[in-house]
């Protein structure tokens, strides 16, 4: 009996400690609902104002389920064709610390939704808004900007780069390797 208790206690503790994130597994699927304009620059005449945050961002950012969905969609919508598995190709690298249009999840969302002039297609009419948020959350993870406890883990197939949950934060790397 005592032994059983001794076993049970750590088990219960472990279970309690394992706080699960909230999962909204069926996000609404309406097209293009993220209408909020996102400035392309932080420069503003008359002094900088706080950058606008989208209230959707919080529910997607750093969320393990949404990031793993984003990873799947990253191949599904051929992002990987242009950005490879984050190292870039026809499009720029997304795993490094260099951002042309901003690294916030809102900026990345705007990039995917509206496109960018030098060859980033606009996916706003092709991908439901919540999936664009999932992609954005995953792109943040590619750059090492997601907690390792939530970022996707290693692939089943070819190891193309260290898994997302082991990628160091690109910004702290100093220089590109």
Partner 1 sequence: MKGRLHPAQARVDARQGARALAIWNSFRTCILSVMLLACGPFLSGASEPPSAAAIAPPAAAAPPDDGQWTMPAKNYASTRFSDLTEINEGNVKNLQVAFTFSTGVNKGQEAAPLVVGNIMYIVTPFPNIVYALDLSRPGAPMKWKYEPNPEPAAQGVACCDVVNRGAAFADGRIFFNTLDGHTIALDANTGKPIWNAHIGNINIGETITMAPLVVKGKVLVGNSGGEMGVRGWVKALDAGDGHIVWTAYGTGPDKDVLIGPDFKPHYDMDKGTDLGVTTWPPEAWKIGGGNMWGWISYDPALNLIFHGTGNPGPWNPDLRPGDNKWTSGIFARDPDTGAAKWFYQWSPHDLHDYDGINEQILLDMTWQGKPRKVLVRPERNGYLYILDRTTGEVLSATAYGPVNSSKGVDLKTGRLIANPDKKTGTGKVVRDICPTASGLKDWQPSAFSPRTGLLYIPHNNLCMDEEGVEVNYIAGTPYVGMNVRMIPGPGGNRGAFTAWDVAAAKPAWVLKENFPVWSGTVVTAGDVVFYGTMEGWFKAVSARTGDLLWQFKTSSGIIGQPITYRGPDGHQYVAILSGVGGWAGAIVSGDLDPRDATAALGFVNAMKDLKNATTAGGTLYVFRLP
* Interacting residues toward ligand HEC by CB under 6 A: 77-79, 81-83, 90-92, 94, 99-101, 108, 111-112, 116-121, 123, 135, 139
Helical axes 105-114 vs 129-142, angle rounded to 10°: 120
CB nearer to ligand HEC: give 80 or 148: 80
Task: Give 34's contacts (C-beta < 8 A, 6+ positions apart).
Answer: 54, 56, 109, 113, 129, 132, 133
Q: Using CA atoms, how far apart are residues 106 and 45, in angstroms rounded to an integer?
A: 21
Contact 108, 9 (CB under 8 A): no
Q: Binding partner of residue 137 among partner 1, ligand HEC, none, CB under 5 to 8 Å per kind?
A: none
- The one among 68, 86, 108, 150 contacting partner 1 by CB under 8 A: 86
Q: Binding partner of residue 99 among ligand HEC, partner 1, none, CB under 5 to 8 Å per kind?
A: ligand HEC
CB of 131 to ligand HEC, least distance (A): 9
Q: Where are the alpha helices (DSSP H) in the chain?
A: 2-17, 57-60, 64-76, 79-83, 105-114, 129-142
- For residues 10-39, which are near partner 1 according to CB under 8 A? none
By CB under 8 A, name the binding residues for partner 1.
75-78, 81-82, 84-93, 95-96, 98, 117-121, 126, 157-162, 167, 176-177
């Amino acid at each position: 009996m005592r032994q059983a208790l001794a076993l049970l206690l750590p088990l219960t503790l472990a279970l309690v400690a394992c706080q699960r994130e909230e999962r909204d597994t069926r996000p609404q699927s309406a097209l293009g609902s993220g209408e909020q304009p996102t400035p392309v620059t932080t420069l503003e005449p008359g002094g900088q104002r706080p950058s606008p945050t989208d209230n959707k961002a919080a529910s997607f950012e750093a969320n393990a389920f949404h990031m793993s969905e984003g990873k799947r969609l990253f191949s599904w919508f051929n992002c990987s064709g242009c950005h490879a598995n984050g190292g870039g190709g026809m499009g720029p690298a997304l795993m490094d610390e260099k951002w042309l249009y901003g690294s916030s999840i809102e900026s990345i969302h705007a990039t995917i939704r509206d496109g960018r002039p030098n060859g980033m297609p606009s996916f706003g009419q092709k991908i439901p808004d919540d999936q664009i948020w999932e992609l954005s959350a995953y792109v943040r993870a590619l750059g090492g900007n997601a907690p390792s406890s939530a970022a996707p883990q290693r692939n089943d197939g070819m190891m193309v780069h260290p898994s997302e949950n082991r990628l160091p934060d690109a910004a702290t790397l100093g220089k590109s390797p």
